[in-house]
């Protein structure tokens, strides 16, 4: 339980998370320690560290954005956050910090948005605002998924800045609209690339083409809930939540088709066949995939000093299997996979991030969600 504290952070009142003893486990290359930094978060979805390294912004799916200190202090709700459609898989989703935050204070949020014209549909939207104290100011919507569609499923979405300043937004196919992933007149099942102010780069692959939306970078995706920039190549890698079987890693290239739903390694949840093809002409095969599914969420490339033997590896968080998959990479090739933290976390893992200190931070998808630090316990 939380205890009120007579402290102040910006304009927020604060609470302390209950203390928890650390647990350790041996992995193939490192002994690790898991420490609960904070708990009592309501289905947290995204983490983004502020430049000072002492705090992270954490989204709660119900529509709340909070500051969480590395000392376990959780702020009241940050004001100014856009209204969200909190339903099924929808709500307040990812959070990202502008690469030039120290100069402009911009924070970016992805969320499920109701139809502003009063219709029954919704879609993934992205807004940005300036974080001043505990308030988001000058909030503007920079992207609205089209069309608005009546569904509570498959919104995506991760927000990733490329080294050259573009903002990638990953989206879902909305489940019952899966066939839209193969057409270019909508945002369902797409990866989008825009500038941070919402304008479209002139070199996007479908700019100026009839029956195609200018924002689209790649298509034929199912539900892309993870994304990261490769530290050496600068390329975008994505993790796509598959059906029953067929979670995928892709390296989306401009204008390419990644096959969903005409080619898949999975079946529907009731066992029915979605497609009898795993390969289809004109589509790109997944770079890596899982059978059975691990229920992927987000991913990172580890670059810190806390775990020297993991440097350059991809770490993919999972929901159903409550673990992190460590992919040992040689260039882009996956040479080996190791399952991490299964006996430490014991909750669905919704997000994974590398902290400024080189430790790994996880949030768990639970009514009593936790922020957990994974640190090195090698002797």
Smallest CA-to-CA distance from 269 within 295, 289, 297 is with 295
Helices and strands in the chain, H and E counts: 1, 27
Q: Which residues are 140's β-sheet partners?
A: 128
Q: Residues 300, 255, 150, 138: is their CA dihedral positive or negative?
A: positive
Cβ atoms 222, 267 nearer than 8 A: no
Q: Please work out, in degrees rounded to the nearest 5, the angle formed at the alpha carbon of residue 168 by the alpha carbons of 164 and 173.
A: 160
Give the list of residues 6+ apart from residue 146 with CB closer than 8 angstroms, or none.
Answer: 123, 186, 187, 213
DSSP β-ladder status, 55-60 and 64-69? antiparallel
pLDDT at residue 142, rounded to an integer: 98
DSSP 207: T
Distance CA 154, CA 180 (A): 13
pLDDT at residue 21, rounded to an integer: 60
State the CATH architecture for 23-376: 6 Propeller (2.120)
**Which residue among 30, 154, 221, 241 is the active-site one?**
154
pLDDT at residue 379, rounded to an integer: 86
pLDDT at residue 20, rounded to an integer: 52
Q: Which residues are 239's β-sheet partners?
A: 226, 249
Distance CA 207, CA 32 (A): 47
pLDDT at residue 14, rounded to an integer: 36
Is 154 annotated in the active site? yes
Q: Please work out, in degrees rounded to the nearest 5, the angle formed at the alpha carbon of residue 247 by the alpha carbons of 241 and 250.
A: 90
Distance CA 160, CA 138 (A): 21
Smallest CA-to-CA distance from 42 within 86, 83, 12 is with 86
pLDDT at residue 329, rounded to an integer: 97
Going from the C-alpha of 239 to that of each of 38, 205, 294, 297, 326, the distances in angstroms are 27, 21, 11, 7, 13
pLDDT at residue 68, rounded to an integer: 97
Tens digit of pLDDT per residue, the chain (379 long)?
222 222 233 333 333 343 456 899 999 999 999 999 999 999 999 999 999 999 999 999 999 999 999 999 999 999 999 999 999 999 999 999 999 999 999 999 999 999 999 999 999 999 999 999 999 999 999 999 999 999 999 999 999 999 999 999 999 999 999 999 999 999 999 999 999 999 999 999 999 999 999 999 999 999 999 999 999 999 999 999 999 999 999 999 999 999 999 999 999 999 999 999 999 999 999 999 999 999 999 999 999 999 999 999 999 999 999 999 999 999 999 999 999 999 999 999 999 999 999 999 999 999 999 999 999 999 8
Dump pLDDT digits (tens) for 189-237.
999 999 999 999 999 999 999 999 999 999 999 999 999 999 999 999 9
The H-or-E segment that residue 102 falls in is: helix 101-104
287: region left, alpha or beta (phi > 0 left; psi from -120 to 50 alpha): alpha
Q: Please work out, in degrees rounded to the nearest 5, the angle formed at the alpha carbon of residue 103 by the alpha carbons of 68 and 46.
A: 30
Smallest CA-to-CA distance from 240 within 165, 154, 312, 311 is with 154
pLDDT at residue 22, rounded to an integer: 86
Cβ atoms 98, 43 nearer than 8 A: no
Cβ atoms 71, 63 nearer than 8 A: no
Give the list of residues 6+ apart from residue 144 with CB closer than 8 angstroms, or none.
Answer: 113, 123, 125
Residue 41: phi and psi, rounded to 5, are: -80, 140
Distance CA 47, CA 245 (A): 27
How many C-beta atoms surround the C-beta of residue 244 within 10 A?
15
Distance CA 91, CA 64 (A): 9
Cβ atoms 73, 15 nearer than 8 A: yes
Dump pLDDT digits (tens) for 146-167.
999 999 999 999 999 999 999 9
Give the list of residues 6+ apart from residue 342 with CB closer than 8 angstroms, or none.
Answer: 321, 322, 323
């Amino acid at each position: 339980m939380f205890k009120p504290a007579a402290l102040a952070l910006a304009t927020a009142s604060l609470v302390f998370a209950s203390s928890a003893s650390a647990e350790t486990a041996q992995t193939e290359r490192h002994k690790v320690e898991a420490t609960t930094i904070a708990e009592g978060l309501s289905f947290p979805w995204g983490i983004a560290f502020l430049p000072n390294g002492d705090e992270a912004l954490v989204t709660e799916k119900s529509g709340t954005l909070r500051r969480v200190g590395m000392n376990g202090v959780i702020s009241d709700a940050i004001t100014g956050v856009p209204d969200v459609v909190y339903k099924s898989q929808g709500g307040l989703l990812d959070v990202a910090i502008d690469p030039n935050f120290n100069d402009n204070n911009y924070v970016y949020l992805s969320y499920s948005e109701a139809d502003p014209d009063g219709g029954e549909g919704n879609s993934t939207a992205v807004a940005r605002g300036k974080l001043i104290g505990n308030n988001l100011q000058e909030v503007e919507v920079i992207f609205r998924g089209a069309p608005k569609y009546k569904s509570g499923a498959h919104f995506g979405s991760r927000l990733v800045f490329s080294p050259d300043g573009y903002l990638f937004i990953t989206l879902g196919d909305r489940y019952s609209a899966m066939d839209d992933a193969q057409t270019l007149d909508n945002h369902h099942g797409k990866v989008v690339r825009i500038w941070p102010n919402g304008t479209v780069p002139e070199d996007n692959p479908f700019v100026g083409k009839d029956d195609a939306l200018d924002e689209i970078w790649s298509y034929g995706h199912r539900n892309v809930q993870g994304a990261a920039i490769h530290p050496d190549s600068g390329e975008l890698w994505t993790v796509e939540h598959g059906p029953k079987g067929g979670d995928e890693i892709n390296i989306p290239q401009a204008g390419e088709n990644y096959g969903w739903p005409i080619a898949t390694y999975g079946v529907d949840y009731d066992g029915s066949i979605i497609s009898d093809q795993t390969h289809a002409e004109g589509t790109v095969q997944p770079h890596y995939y899982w059978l059975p599914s691990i229920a992927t969420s987000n991913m990172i490339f580890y670059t810190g000093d806390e775990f020297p033997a993991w440097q350059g590896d991809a770490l993919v968080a999972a929901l159903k299997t409550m673990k992190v998959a460590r992919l040992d990479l040689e260039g882009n090739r996956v040479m080996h996979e190791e399952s991490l933290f299964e006996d430490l976390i014991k909750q669905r893992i919704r997000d994974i991030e590398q902290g400024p200190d080189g430790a790994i931070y996880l949030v768990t998808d639970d009514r009593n969600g936790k922020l957990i630090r994974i640190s090195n316990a090698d002797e």
